[in-house]
């Protein structure tokens, strides 16, 4: 497995990380816990050193899973987690708003440390920017946690370029995590140039378009009632049908490279910048191995030009999220 550094930070991780959310939350019924522990350990065996979780995934159960699975590998892996959502009082899945007050950040850190079974959180992201708390206060709270040795590095998720700059001036930001793939290219306009200038790494989540870019879905795909894709405008039958052109494009390049559409989607992301580390999620070993295979695929400048030319003619249909959640991004 190749390694990459997240920006100018000295944080070196595997070129491909592993998003853990779906192992206990969001994509239908939760898989068997022991199977997921085996999968996480199989990822380490195959060279993956970067794992992504959050307090809100479950809530709590995903951090507990990751903590238990990776306990034998302390010091050899990097675990990122997140704060910032206001959880439901009854502890049921989901959230009731945002809460990044400094006292809440410190409270979340203590809980995450216990669940992850670590002495310090490797990378602590603000999950969504809270409009009610100045970003300087958020950065200051994480800075205090870093000074106390409870957190090692600070990150933001789905933040706007101007917010990143303000946070970075208080506490250097190691990485930004936002959705980025061939069907979600918003970060290219302002965020990526800002990160290049400031020396901050970029961690694309949903790099396979929540499964769509694997080529395993079409307008007839049905989702379990507990699968959050049921609520996403981009996953209506009409949008899936309209966006099929993007998968067809990946399929063409995949045939040329003797690869899969998913591998081309990931290889495309890796080819954008040397400080980009995608975190595809999966609950299946064969998919994990397929994703890892993307790291070895070299897309030539001609390949990238062909993808860019064809993709520029495809208008992606459907919003990423329902309006209330979409409003939480890009602040």
What residues are labeled active site?
57
> Comparing C-alpha atoms, which of 133, 131, 190, 132 is closest to residue 165?
190
List, in order, residues 6 or more apart from 176 with CB less than 8 Å away.
155, 156, 157, 159, 164, 191, 195, 200, 201, 202, 203
Cβ-in-10-Å burial (0-12, 13-18, 19+) of 100 comes to: buried
Three-class SS of residue 98? strand
Whole-angstrom Cα distance, residue 105 to residue 124?
Answer: 10
Whole-angstrom Cα distance, residue 249 to residue 264?
Answer: 10
What Å distances lie between residue 129 and 136, 178, 313, CA to CA? 11, 12, 33
Whole-angstrom Cα distance, residue 66 to residue 36?
Answer: 9
Instruction: Report how far Cα 55 is from the mean position of its chain's Cα atoms.
Output: 14
């Amino acid at each position: 497995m190749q390694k990459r550094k997240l920006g100018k930070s000295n944080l070196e991780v595997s070129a491909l990380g592993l998003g853990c959310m779906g192992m206990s939350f969001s994509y239908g019924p939760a898989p068997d816990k022991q199977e997921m522990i085996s999968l996480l350990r199989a990822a380490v065996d195959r060279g993956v050193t970067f794992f992504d979780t959050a307090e809100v995934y479950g809530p709590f159960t995903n951090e507990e899973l990751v903590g238990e699975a990776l306990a034998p590998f302390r010091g050899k892996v990097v675990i990122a987690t997140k704060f910032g959502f206001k959880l439901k009082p009854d502890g049921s899945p989901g959230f009731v708003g945002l809460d990044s007050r400094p006292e809440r950040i410190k409270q979340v850190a203590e809980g995450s440390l216990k669940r992850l079974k670590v002495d310090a959180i490797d990378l602590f992201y603000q999950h969504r920017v809270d409009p009610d708390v100045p970003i300087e206060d958020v950065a200051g709270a994480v800075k205090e946690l870093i000074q106390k040795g409870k957190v090692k590095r600070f990150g933001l998720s789905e933040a706007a370029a101007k917010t990143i700059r303000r946070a970075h001036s208080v506490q250097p930001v190691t990485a930004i995590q936002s959705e980025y793939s061939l069907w979600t290219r918003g970060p290219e306009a302002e965020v990526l140039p800002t990160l290049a200038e400031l020396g901050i790494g970029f961690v694309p989540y949903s790099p396979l378009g929540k499964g769509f870019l694997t080529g395993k879905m079409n307008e007839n795909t049905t989702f379990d009632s507990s699968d959050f894709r049921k609520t996403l405008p981009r996953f209506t039958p009409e949008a899936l049908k309209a966006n099929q052109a993007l998968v067809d494009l990946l399929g063409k390049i995949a045939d040329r490279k003797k690869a899969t559409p998913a591998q081309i989607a990931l290889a495309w992301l890796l080819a954008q910048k040397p400080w980009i580390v995608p975190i595809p999620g999966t609950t299946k070993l064969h998919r994990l191995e397929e994703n890892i295979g993307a790291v070895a695929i070299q897309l030539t400048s001609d390949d990238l030009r062909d993808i860019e030319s064809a993709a520029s003619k495809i208008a992606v249909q459907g919003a990423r999220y329902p309006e209330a959640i979409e409003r939480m991004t890009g602040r």
